[in-house]
Structure 1
Amino acid sequence: MKPVFVQIKCELGRAYAVADQLVQEVEQTSEVYSTSGHYDLLAKFYLGADEDIGRFVNEKVHPIPGVRDTFTIITFKAFA
């Protein structure tokens, strides 16, 4: 499993609804945080080694009502 982080910009007043839908309906969702700055949410997903990240974001995140924009961050190594 590989972690992928997606920053999500939401329509005004929709951040909580978007976060709730991610947690309830997207099984790859690990965590969702509200944030300040250019994006409203930071979501962490775990995808299978051979899953297409672009297709996942396009088909699972973008269609959620209230999502306006995303910025995907691919990780390489976790340090502990």
Structure 2
Amino acid sequence: MKAIFVQFKCRPGMAYKVADSLIQEVPEISEVYSTSGHYDLIAKFYLADEQDIGHFVTERLQVTEGVADTFTLVAFKAFG
């Protein structure tokens, strides 16, 4: 399994709906948090080693209603 973190910029008033949609519709999600700053949410996903990150983000996450933009971080190693 590989972990990725995706930050979501949501359309105004949509952050809670986007978070709920991700939890309900994306089984790869581990957790999602509301954040301050340039993005409204950050979520952690666990993907199978053979799962393509680009297809996952563009075809499963960016098409979520209310999502205006995403920023993806790939995690290399967990400490602790």
Length, aligned pairs only: 80
Q: Name 2:38's counterpart in structure 1.
A: 38
Provide structure 1 residue ranges, at least 5 long, that are not aligned to the other structure: none
TM-superposed deviation, 1:74 = 0.3
Q: Which residue of 2 aligns with 1:22?
A: 22
Aligned counterparts, 1:1-80, within 5 A: 1-80=1-80
TM-score by length of 2: 0.98
Aligned mates of 2:79, 2:16 — CA distance in 1 = 30
Secondary structure of residue in 2 paired with 1:3: strand
- Give 2:76's aligned amino acid: F
Distance in 1 between residues matched to 2:13 and 2:22, nearest whole Å: 16
C-alpha distance in structure 2 between counterparts of 1:54 and 1:36, whole Å: 25
Moved over 3 A (4+): none
Query: Matches of 1:59 and 1:13 in 2, distance apart?
Result: 23
**How many angstroms apart in 2 are the aligned matches of 1:15 and 1:73?**
20
Residue identity (%): 62
